Structure 1
């Protein structure tokens, strides 16, 4: 978070370092930069670490902290395409060049009361940032240009979301630097008009989609493919959530993402970035319930049970329900039809959701269940038989052995085998003639009458 006007040189150097660090650690995740500055002092926000890609849920927190309550006039400069390479290649201070395509943008960042830069924000769709701002401000965006803005009546007591669409390098008659420089002039003109109206503002500059594809870098020494979390996490991987009874592990859960979303909103809330409390969790020989109470006011409860099935002659556990509580709203989802495993195993699935190939079925008893969406990525849970201490037991995966590809291969092979068998059968039915015409015999003569 940049503080005041006196930090111009420091801000420039820090900005160069952040952008180059991001370039050095490119990822395969599509990403766009986001620059925000304001004429008013914003709440302090910790900048992301170099190389970190800001997720959608983290972006929501950044915008919430930056905008805060009260009236706002937000200027959203939305370019057709934008990537951090555009700054390093065509920028002045950004690209360490004497002259660049963004003099007005750089001056705005340096002279603003508060500003911050997100060099790499995870791209989730062309309207993600616009939807977030519209939801936060509670107003519809107004598409304007500098000429329209000069005649527009703005008040500091109202909430305004002004949208400025900027083109990218699509014309063969202009270079990218010329197009970006023209966009920078539009930004400068808009800022001058708003300052002349004496209206406090917050400006955001980002892209509808990335202009450059990120390069995927493979980490040396890292195993390829997916491995289950059957051991305690080490390094940068989060440890599993564990509920203990009398200092003995009773329930374990791990997920790469625990995403929840309410119908009508485009953003997902990733609960894994928050640290929950486990108040209300219980565990015994037949029933277990893991209750995750998050600081944001959302509570997730996983109710499990185990019982003996005579057909298989063994105990199985099922995830009966997943209950979601958010303030005054509640929703329940049933998982007993698809989330089960032997009692001494853990259950693992790459994707557990409530809307596509759903393993979590919205309950009929709660009216709000169909309005909520759940999406658990790389989900693993175990509620019974934790004999290995801090490790998951062997994982029973939701992916069946006979996948669609395997069935297609088997059916195609069977069809080819039938064709081959029919051909062999036809060849074996061929027989030679039992007698032949003698070519050396007397020829047949046909008398001709005159």
Structure 2
């Protein structure tokens, strides 16, 4: 048992040492099942290799296709390989480890899989991938009130357990938080074992707890340098992606998405982004010259069924000698209402993404969206830290972003005006100094004094 525990801990440590220098943020993925011989035909990744979203799906497909019908996902807020190497105990010692239940589960399982380095964009959308593979909606399990009714063995079921540990917590030490999450994991597994339910479990995190970033940025061409987009890694959730043949075709990101009609407003951020997203993208489409991103929501509070459509086009211009993409229109459909917003000034080269701190139909927020009908004036659509890309998408990362801010910002104008004022004062002073002239005649104290005759 101790040798097995040391083996999986050594695998995680090797993955951290060999993969830690990469620029891609990584999280570990650990899977085990009560069914044997699920991953024997699949070779383990080489040390330092970062598993992509497609590769992760290929690793989990055998367990989802041949394994038990019950799949449980333990999704932690943040987790890195360093958490296992630092708090995993020396040589797998369970008495010193913060993961005794996890180690015991891996040791006793007939089949187990350890992936030390997985791209966090793949794990953040793992719940949606499992939902598509299992064919059923996830059941969120409260660790404090675990249902004791056994699941149907022949009916597919997907259980999701959120582990709330975050490495940035100041109220609890990391090891104590990891131990608490491990106890939750052990409690859930004990309930499944007592009910005699075969299962396949997966433990991972939505984001890494220790982020490794590239120091050097890729070079860009001459001329004005556009802003580089790093919001998808800095924000609390990854970008929303519409995939075609397994590859992202359209990317959308916003730190906040609010839709309202009159006094009623609905915050759709959590339903659009992150592991708990419930938005549907089935009606979306993308081609070489046009793309439509369709966000469909059901049972929105006070709004009913809602659909938001972003219509984009890609055209070539001879003057610029390169293609440009534009966001032409945004449509909002709610029950029987169809509202269209004309979009202004949302464009960028096709190889870039577009980013703006605020996109809304509210004049106080910039009024990028303009109401086309009188009925649309009662609606409100607000996107904060908006970023979108529909052409030239490569992976789950935005290309360099064309920002909506003008080149001459208010700060730049203030600096220019102040500099011009100082130059004017300096020039005027130099002109005054150079204009000084000496007197034509001086009074010599050694010679006769100048007398002025007085007449009475």
TM-score when scaled to structure 2? 0.51
The equivalent residue for 1:376 is 393
SS in 2 for 1:376: coil
The separation in 2 between residues aligned to 1:215 and 1:85, in whole angstroms, is 16
The separation in 2 between residues aligned to 1:80 and 1:177, in whole angstroms, is 15
The separation in 2 between residues aligned to 1:21 and 1:126, in whole angstroms, is 17
The separation in 2 between residues aligned to 1:411 and 1:118, in whole angstroms, is 52
The equivalent residue for 1:214 is 212
What are the equivalent positions in structure 2 for 1:167-186 lying under 5 Å apart? 167-168=164-165, 175-186=173-184
Counterpart of 2:87 (choices 90, 107, 114) is 90
The equivalent residue for 1:117 is 114
Deviation at 1:419, TM superposition (A): 2.8
The equivalent residue for 1:367 is none
| Matched residues, number | 300
SS in 1 for 2:317: coil
The equivalent residue for 2:158 is 161
CA RMSD across the alignment = 5.1
Deviation at 1:37, TM superposition (A): 0.8
Q: C-alpha deviations, 1:35-63, integer Å up to 9, x for none?
A: 11111242533322211222233323333
The separation in 2 between residues aligned to 1:227 and 1:88, in whole angstroms, is 36
The equivalent residue for 1:42 is 38
Deviation at 1:188, TM superposition (A): 2.0
Q: Please tell me whether residue 32 in structure 1 is matched to residue 27 in structure 2.
A: yes
What are the equivalent positions in structure 2 for 1:431-450 lying under 5 Å apart? none
The equivalent residue for 1:57 is 54
SS in 2 for 1:149: coil
Q: Please tell me whether residue 189 in structure 1 is matched to residue 190 in structure 2.
A: no
Native 8 Å contact 2:72 2:199 kept in 1: yes
SS in 1 for 2:44: coil
Deviation at 1:110, TM superposition (A): 1.7
The separation in 1 between residues aligned to 2:25 and 2:165, in whole angstroms, is 18
Counterpart of 2:131 (choices 121, 131, 134) is 134
Native 8 Å contact 2:26 2:119 kept in 1: yes
Counterpart of 1:16 (choices 7, 10, 15) is 10
The equivalent residue for 1:287 is none
Q: 1:106 to 1:424 in 2, by over 3 A?
A: closer
Native 8 Å contact 2:350 2:391 kept in 1: no
The separation in 1 between residues aligned to 2:127 and 2:319, in whole angstroms, is 37
Q: 1:350 to 1:108 in 2, by over 3 A?
A: farther
Deviation at 1:85, TM superposition (A): 1.2
Native 8 Å contact 2:353 2:401 kept in 1: no
The separation in 2 between residues aligned to 1:48 and 1:338, in whole angstroms, is 47
Native 8 Å contact 1:355 1:373 kept in 2: no
The equivalent residue for 1:205 is 203
The separation in 2 between residues aligned to 1:182 and 1:332, in whole angstroms, is 47
Q: 1:339 to 1:78 in 2, by over 3 A?
A: farther
Native 8 Å contact 1:42 1:67 kept in 2: no
Native 8 Å contact 1:87 1:95 kept in 2: no
The separation in 1 between residues aligned to 2:201 and 2:391, in whole angstroms, is 33
Native 8 Å contact 2:9 2:88 kept in 1: no
Native 8 Å contact 2:75 2:205 kept in 1: yes
* Greater displacement, 421-430 / 173-182: 421-430
Q: 1:70 to 1:38 in 2, by over 3 A?
A: closer
Native 8 Å contact 1:350 1:377 kept in 2: no
Q: Please tell me whether residue 226 in structure 1 is matched to residue 206 in structure 2.
A: no
TM-score when scaled to structure 1? 0.51
User: Which 5+ residue runs of structure 1 have no aligned equivalent?
Assistant: 1-6, 219-223, 230-258, 272-299, 303-320, 324-330, 343-348, 358-371, 379-397, 433-450
Native 8 Å contact 1:78 1:166 kept in 2: yes
Q: C-alpha deviations, 1:174-219, integer Å up to 9, x for none?
A: 5433332232222222222212222221101112322223376x7x
Deviation at 1:69, TM superposition (A): 6.8
Q: C-alpha deviations, 1:83-105, integer Å up to 9, x for none?
A: 11111111137766763121221
The separation in 1 between residues aligned to 2:209 and 2:161, in whole angstroms, is 18
Native 8 Å contact 1:71 1:158 kept in 2: no
The separation in 1 between residues aligned to 2:349 and 2:108, in whole angstroms, is 47
Q: 1:375 to 1:39 in 2, by over 3 A?
A: farther
What are the equivalent positions in structure 2 for 1:348-363 lying under 5 Å apart? 352=351
Q: 1:61 to 1:21 in 2, by over 3 A?
A: closer
What are the equivalent positions in structure 2 for 1:196-345 lying under 5 Å apart? 196-214=194-212, 226=218, 261-262=241-242, 269=247, 334-337=314-317
